[in-house]
Structure 1
Amino acid sequence: MNIVLQNLTRFGDLLQSQPTLAELTDDGHVVALACLENFAGAAALLPEAAAIFPLPGGRLLAGVAGDWHQALVAVTDYVDGVAAGFAPESVVNLTAALSSRLLARRFCGDAVRGFSLDSFGFRYESTPWAAFLEASSARRGLSPFNVVDLFRKSAGVGRGRGRFHLRRPAPSEAAAAGALLAAGTDATASCYVGFQLGASAAARQWPVGYFARVADRLWESLGAVAVLVGSGGEKQLAAEFRQASRAPCVDLVGATDLPRLAAVTSGLRLLITNDTGTLHLAAGLGVPSIAVFLATAQPFDTGPYLEGCLCLEPDLPCHPCPFGSACPRDHACLNAISAQAAAEAAVAFCRTGRFEPGTYPGARAWLSAFDADGFMDLVSLSGHDAEPRAIWLRHQRHVLRQFLDDVPFTLPAAHPPGLPDAERQTLARILGQSADLLRLIEGQAVLVARNPAMKARFLASYERVGSLWSGSPHLAVLGQLWKRQAQEHVPDLEQLLTGIRRYAACIRAFADRLDA
């Protein structure tokens, strides 16, 4: 089957589509890629893509602002061009935005996996995993799954262990990158360590001075030379780094296109970075990293999809912070993770090839590793796996995976530590209220089928469940999913009851985990 995999988001998200593309190809499909025009260079790094169809997103938006008729013609021309050049029979759409859903349906009608619209124009997700992917994007502190695995499951694949392998640079590119590194400094390097100083927002950007201290330590201890990478918009950060650091460096900020950046990254011993697209480029090329996650960024969902990487997040009770909220602590997380913690970890890794358990001042330290089911997971190196947030993420990881796969609920072979008594009692009370409400709703649904006058009571009870969960720091993602179910077209009573009972079983599974 000819499939268009559609991902109309950022550089990093596009790269992280590769495991999904690979599994679709393994299933015997021929897969083309639809992506934004400005990321077509990154799409070329996905080796299984049979064709690449860049969408001129910027021009389309400008057209809508001017003459929407011309924008509509441009979209039609784009779809017709894909149809003529590839003849897609199905679409896998990994972007939840309405515009992307419309485009997916324009390609192939109902034959869409992931995010789409139904025949009535209502939002539609082909799998519960796709609904969870969108719901968890607003509550990322509660998502226990790496986005690569969410992409895989949303597309209807995700069987067994994922693999993330981007196209290796051509020998000529690798040679050019090696020459670029060698010419960038008079110093003799024992190895090169990359530094990505920028981030998508200033609140997610570790201080440049901290990066500089890490580079100084690597040079003094090992003779490792820092390599600065990033876009042209980060040149000021590079200037600040050079002023703050005593060590030699190769400054390539704004000096590489994507193929050359991939070749440079392939030659690094280690990458030290914020949560950026370059982090995922390194992971897909097999280059280990130390990644710093600040503000809304957290490693459980956007961490590197490569075993053996170190993820550092602030050891603060407010992290990760919610989207759309002003920081009440004057962005304390920016300075929470000490440069010493990252420097010692970097030096040790360059010597041994491993990140070891120990003390990481100011940080919760996690090592990336695959779990028994083949999903990317995190293992604590700093003893933070016994904290309430980590414990609850473990509970969610087990229960929600069974819920989203729609399989019978079972208890795991190994249990995480128990939650503190106060938190456990609060959660047990909410779970008990949830179970009572779901029983009430199930009964009211049956009565509505016999007496439509009961509909108002049923809807009020339904809304109460959503409000109860959305207001809970533990069940907010479930609340998002519940509200999405309310927006779906339900053809008959039995399907409605099946959905309600499935949520009731999920609540019982969470309660069983608390009692275990």
Structure 2
Amino acid sequence: MAKFLVIQAARFGDLVQTKRLLLSLAGRGEVHLAVDAGLVSLARLLYPFAELHALSVHGGPQAEALARNAAVLARWRGEHFDAVYNCNFSGTTAALCRVFEEAQVCGYRPGAGGITRSPWALLAFRISERRALAPLNLVDFWAHFAPQPVPPHTVNPVATPGGQGLGVVLAGRESRRSLPVPVLAEVVRAAFGAMGGPKVFLLGSAAEKNAARQLMRQLPAKMLPAVEDLSGKTDWPALVDAVTGLDALVTPDTGIMHLGAHLGVPVLAFFLSSAWQHETGPYGEGHHVWQTSRGCGPCLESAPCPYNVACGEPLAQVELLRSLVAVLGSIKSGLPATAASEKKWPALAADLQLWRTGLDALGARPMLLAGHDPHAAERLYVREFLAARQHVALKPAGSAPAYRPTADLEQWLCNDADWMLPPGRYC
């Protein structure tokens, strides 16, 4: 039996987004998964079919980390892996991969000058230089490290209300990618009313306990008996239990958002600043994303914002609440994708888009429901280019307007010959 090793040493959300790659490999052989030690219990819940390897990559005593990683390396030397998939552009994971032959490693490899990227990773990084045009979800980027990944519709369940109430993710790791508490309070109040007064569960780590207290102070008193603050109170199994079966999940771009999509919970996501739903939006059919679309975005998470996060302003407008109520009504009625595309949705404030998630043969392909997308034609062209590179046949775009790419765009996509190599060991 073939044996594969996937190294996913990043954080919570990245682990969930590796699902399509892991499922693809599980259909061909034995899957081993290396994750940070703090995520082992979560990985066991998400991927019970995988043999787990615990790494030390996120802090902790240096001596303990070295001992743990040395033990993992010794174990790897005793295994024969047909292929190794390193998902992280990381000096630590690249160094660990030196135990393998270079030809075994897909993704990010150790090289004489540092980390080298295999051709598919190199192409995807070049695409990310123009993020407004980037059409590839991270789930699909990692999935296409392997040849012929499983069909996208087999990865996550279709979003379906489960009857257990409303989940509210208080914030993500980056504060400017999250809704300010006053705005979040209005969103929660509107959702509570539209859903008929369900139970509300506040979700987050201990770092969000203060945000939970602030939020509860801004909610109407009549709502408070229905609100349960779970921030800082859930280990991984308890978090999975809390999210399972929710009717909807209000969230920024977070690991809990990806967990909700993994479980088939309808996600109501709010993306601003550096969060870009074409890259990291909830995966599957039937989720909804409100994406801010100022000309300066999506920006770099590591760079300070010179505009005082002005991209968040459209999310504080009343048009958002009207749109939210309409979306919740469509979820309750089970509105199919075709009907959703034809429905007349409430107008949005300028620089705001509403998307419904969907899939095609390449992977995640969201559908614009409201707002203006100035890069639609270019993004579709890039998507078709990537599909051809991976030998994936996409259905015709239907009524999409004819588009003739500029010489600059074609040169940007084709400035080397790596893309002509077939997928597989050249991933």
TM-score band by shorter chain is 0.7 to 0.9
Q: In structure 1, what is the Cα distance between the partners aligned to 2:260 and 2:418?
A: 43
Cα deviation 1:397-419 (Å, max 9, x = unaligned): 112322x3379x99956463357
Q: What's the CA shift for 1:31?
A: 0.4
Task: Note if 1:216 corresponds to 2:220.
Answer: no
Q: What's the CA shift for 1:159?
A: 5.2
Indicate how the Cα distance of structure 1 residues 406 and 121 shifts in structure 2: closer, same or farther if over 3 A, else same: farther
What is the match of residue 395 of structure 1? 381
Q: What's the CA shift for 1:241?
A: 0.7
1:133 touches 1:150 (CA, 8 Å); kept in 2?
yes
User: Aligned with 1:381: secondary structure?
Assistant: strand
Task: Note if 1:301 corresponds to 2:282.
Answer: no
Q: How does 1:476-491 map to 2 (within 5 A)?
A: 478=413, 482=415
Q: What's the CA shift for 1:264?
A: 1.1
Q: What's the CA shift for 1:90?
A: 3.0
What letter matches 1:365 in structure 2?
A: L
Cα deviation 1:152-196 (Å, max 9, x = unaligned): 102334254353249xxxxxxxxxxx9xxxxxxxxxxx8511110
User: Aligned with 2:147: secondary structure?
Assistant: coil
Indicate how the Cα distance of structure 1 residues 345 and 40 shifts in structure 2: closer, same or farther if over 3 A, else same: farther
Q: How does 1:221-370 map to 2 (within 5 A)?
A: 221=194, 222-246=196-220, 247-248=223-224, 249-337=227-315, 338=317, 339-341=320-322, 343-345=324-326, 347-349=328-330, 351-354=332-335, 357-362=344-349, 363-370=352-359
What is the match of residue 32 of structure 2? 32
Task: Note if 1:4 corresponds to 2:5.
Answer: yes
Q: How does 1:451-462 map to 2 (within 5 A)?
A: none
Task: Note if 1:381 corresponds to 2:359.
Answer: no
What is the match of residue 134 of structure 2? 143
What is the match of residue 512 of structure 1? none
Q: In structure 1, what is the Cα distance between the partners aligned to 2:126 and 2:190?
A: 42
What letter matches 1:366 in structure 2?
A: W
Task: Tell me the number of residue pairs that the alignment of Structure 1 and Structure 2 aligns.
Answer: 400
1:6 touches 1:104 (CA, 8 Å); kept in 2?
no
Q: How does 1:63-212 map to 2 (within 5 A)?
A: 63=63, 74-84=68-78, 87-107=80-100, 109-117=102-110, 120=112, 123-126=115-118, 128-137=119-128, 139-158=130-149, 160-165=151-156, 191-212=164-185
Q: In structure 2, what is the Cα distance between the partners aligned to 1:157 and 1:101?
A: 25
Normalised TM-score (structure 1):
0.70
Q: What's the CA shift for 1:343?
A: 3.6
Task: Note if 1:405 corresponds to 2:390.
Answer: yes
Indicate how the Cα distance of structure 1 residues 71 and 285 shifts in structure 2: closer, same or farther if over 3 A, else same: closer
Q: In structure 2, what is the Cα distance between the partners aligned to 1:501 and 1:96?
A: 20
1:197 touches 1:230 (CA, 8 Å); kept in 2?
yes
Q: In structure 1, what is the Cα distance between the partners aligned to 2:133 and 2:106?
A: 25
Indicate how the Cα distance of structure 1 residues 360 and 226 shifts in structure 2: closer, same or farther if over 3 A, else same: farther
Q: What's the CA shift for 1:18?
A: 1.6
Normalised TM-score (structure 2):
0.83
User: Aligned with 2:171: secondary structure?
Assistant: coil
Cα deviation 1:68-91 (Å, max 9, x = unaligned): xx966653322113445x554431
Indicate how the Cα distance of structure 1 residues 357 and 81 shifts in structure 2: closer, same or farther if over 3 A, else same: farther
User: Aligned with 1:377: secondary structure?
Assistant: coil
Q: In structure 2, what is the Cα distance between the partners aligned to 1:431 and 1:13?
A: 29
What is the match of residue 184 of structure 1? none
Q: In structure 1, what is the Cα distance between the partners aligned to 2:236 and 2:243?
A: 10
Question: Structure 2 regions of 5+ residues with no counterpart?
Answer: 422-427
1:218 touches 1:225 (CA, 8 Å); kept in 2?
no
Q: In structure 1, what is the Cα distance between the partners aligned to 2:116 and 2:84?
A: 14
What letter matches 1:263 in structure 2?
A: D
Indicate how the Cα distance of structure 1 residues 344 and 370 shifts in structure 2: closer, same or farther if over 3 A, else same: same
**Larger helix fraction of residues:** 1
Indicate how the Cα distance of structure 1 residues 93 and 360 shifts in structure 2: closer, same or farther if over 3 A, else same: farther
2:169 touches 2:203 (CA, 8 Å); kept in 1?
yes
Cα deviation 1:371-396 (Å, max 9, x = unaligned): 2x251101111153xx3312211111
Q: In structure 1, what is the Cα distance between the partners aligned to 2:77 and 2:62?
A: 24
Structure with higher Rg: it is 1
Q: What's the CA shift for 1:254?
A: 0.8
Q: What's the CA shift for 1:349?
A: 4.1
Q: In structure 1, what is the Cα distance between the partners aligned to 2:394 and 2:187?
A: 46
Cα deviation 1:182-219 (Å, max 9, x = unaligned): xxxxxxxx851111020121110112222222322333
2:86 touches 2:93 (CA, 8 Å); kept in 1?
yes
Indicate how the Cα distance of structure 1 residues 501 and 93 shifts in structure 2: closer, same or farther if over 3 A, else same: closer
User: Aligned with 2:370: secondary structure?
Assistant: coil
Indicate how the Cα distance of structure 1 residues 429 and 110 shifts in structure 2: closer, same or farther if over 3 A, else same: closer
